[in-house]
Amino acid sequence: MTFLLVFVPFMLMSGVDRLGGTGRSPILGVLEVALGLAISLGATKKTRDGRRRGRTPGKQASVGTRWAELPVILMRDNRPVIEVLVVEDHAVVRSGLVTLLSQELGIQVVGQAADGATALAEAERLRPDVALLDIDLPVLDGIAVATALTEQVPDCRTLMLTALDRPGHLSRALAAGVSGYLLKSATLAETADAIRRIAAGGQLVDARMRGHRAGEPTPLTDREAEVLRLAATGAHAREIAADLFLSVGTVRNRLSSAAGKLHARTLVDAVRIAEHHGWL
């Protein structure tokens, strides 16, 4: 800049017209030269700055880009990201869980499912670290999904997030190999902490469930519980038979046997008793 302040007045006073060419104003010629020098000096400074910062000249990363990359680098180096599969049949609840958990440091929701069959398929495809499961799911319930995951995706740990607070449900979940059991009344912080603990290899049972005695062993066989569970959804014997590829008579016999073991007067009473004890 100092050079320009000295050079430009000197050229104006000299009256040299060759800078502007024949018939051109010497002032215009001087200005052209000065502009060329300024551009040249600016390009040289950018090149030097680029070399000092280790970048290719002309390709400068913005400050926003560099800061946006920093948290990802720190998380990968110091705190591995926990990949989570969210399984919940209620769309509003599922969407809320995905949104809130995605904001938690070190947790990434990689997939979601609305029923048990889709959950198994997504778990096999995505291989998440933790599957967050509801128990009451269509097609396959959460406990059946947890049982299958222990065999098909053994590295995926399971955390039940459910509204079912009966000891029987807890017993069935633990027997299925789940790593954690959390009630839906838990806060977001409690849910995120439970996911981190489960992913680290720990186990967790909701504090509100710890004082409960272990549930009584179910008097129902797996097949009786299966047909009674379908009956609880309002399905008739013919519908249950079609779903399970059984005869209508076989379904009715199993329902009758289940009601007898529960000392229930009606099928509705049998469902109520079984649900109360967590046997469905």
> Mind listing the pLDDT tens digit for each residue in 232-268?
888 899 999 998 999 999 999 999 998 888 888 888 8
pLDDT band (50, 70, 90) for residue 184: very high
* Domain 222-276 CATH class label: mainly alpha
Contact 126, 111 (CB under 8 A): yes
Percent helix, strand, coil in the chain, to 5, is 55, 10, 35
Task: Give the start-to-end residue ranges of the domains of the chain.
Answer: 2-52, 80-205, 222-276
Fold type of domain 80-205: Rossmann fold (3.40.50)
* CA dist 55 → 46, 59, 65, 81, 241 (Å): 11, 7, 14, 30, 70
pLDDT band (50, 70, 90) for residue 88: very high
* Beta sheet of 204-205, edge-to-edge order: 107-113, 82-87, 130-133, 157-162, 180-183, 204-205
pTM equals: 0.54
pLDDT of residue 279: 77
Contact 181, 204 (CB under 8 A): yes
How far apart, in whole angstroms, are the C-alpha atoms of residue 15 and residue 25?
Answer: 10
Question: pLDDT digit string (tens) for 97-118?
Answer: 999 999 999 999 999 999 999 9
pLDDT band (50, 70, 90) for residue 128: very high
